[in-house]
Amino acid sequence: MTSFIDRYPKSGYFKAADLLGQPDLNVQIDHVEFDVEIGDKTRDVVEFKNDGRSLVLNHACGSVIAALHGDEIEGWDGKWISLFTDTTVKFGNENKPGIRVRPVVPNSSNGASPTPVPPAEPTLTQDFGTVDF
């Protein structure tokens, strides 16, 4: 007999359904694994110290982590982020749930309030894409 679980094992990566209807999940970054082959794509993957699942890094999540903890990815090790499901992620012409990173550093263990991060100043490329002259 062929086992469904053997043919389709759990991926170990966060999915939107994992956090849908749940409170934010505060996770501590262990490290980022570069150039991981997932299916037919090569992606970077964020591994966590306090959760066995991993986050496949995308531009939206990576941009928030960089705004919170700096552009140097190796500097993210040991930093905390909050994951949540955003139900309004555009996928083609539809809104689908997706994992996102809150743009605040989660509460520390001493009960301090989250630290908000001001939005980055927009650049010409962010607002209009690359313009050829």
Nearest Cα neighbor of 58 from 26, 101, 104 is 101
pLDDT at 50 exceeding the cut of 70:
yes
pLDDT in tens, 95-130: 999 999 999 999 754 444 444 444 445 444 444 444
The percent helix, strand, coil of the chain (3-state, each to 5) is 20, 40, 40
- The pLDDT assigned to 107 comes to 75
pLDDT in tens, 67-88: 999 999 999 999 999 999 999 9
Length of the chain equals 133
